[in-house]
Amino acid sequence: MAKILIVDDDPDFVETTRIVLEKAGHTVLAAGNGEAGFVRAREEKPDLIVLDVIMDSVLDGVSLSQRMYDDPTMRSIPIIMVTSIANTDYAELFPSDDYIPVQAFLTKPVAPATLLKHVQKLLAC
């Protein structure tokens, strides 16, 4: 199946998501922030990335998605942004009027079936 990189600083989310994805037959890698995610994506060339927004900074995930889009070697890697920013004091900082180079947005907590549906859809492209 696919190699999927989870970029999230919440170890519980990473572990539960890893279990869901591995049970579906995927190989799972992880990174705890945007910088580590960028390095890991460049080294490992994942087929898909599951990306949080708030990590080392409020918009760390948004910054990572833009860095990947700006890099021709990583631009084609699909990104599912999974976040709970709407339920935080930082919601107003999210750039809702700007283009964010991700293929799907999901809100935490995300049901395993919903995540897998989006993963399958993006990997089929």
Residue 58 has pLDDT above 70, yes or no: yes
Q: Which residue from 53, 6, 8, 67 is spatially nearest to 33, judged by alpha carbons?
A: 8
Q: Is the per-residue pLDDT at 91 higher than 60?
A: no
**pLDDT, tens only, 3-51:** 999 999 999 999 999 999 999 999 999 999 999 999 999 999 999 999 9
- Domain chopping of the chain, boundaries: 3-124
Task: Give the pLDDT score at 113.
Answer: 98
pLDDT tens column, 62-75: 999 999 999 999 99
Looking at residue 57, what is its pLDDT?
85
Would you state the structure tokens that stand for residue 10, as one six-digit string?
Answer: 């919440």
Superfamily of domain 3-124: Response regulator (3.40.50.2300)
For 19-23, the CB contacts below 8 A with 24+ separation are 20/112, 20/115, 20/116, 21/115, 21/116, 21/119
pLDDT of res. 83: 87
Cis preceding linkage at 101, omega within 30 = no
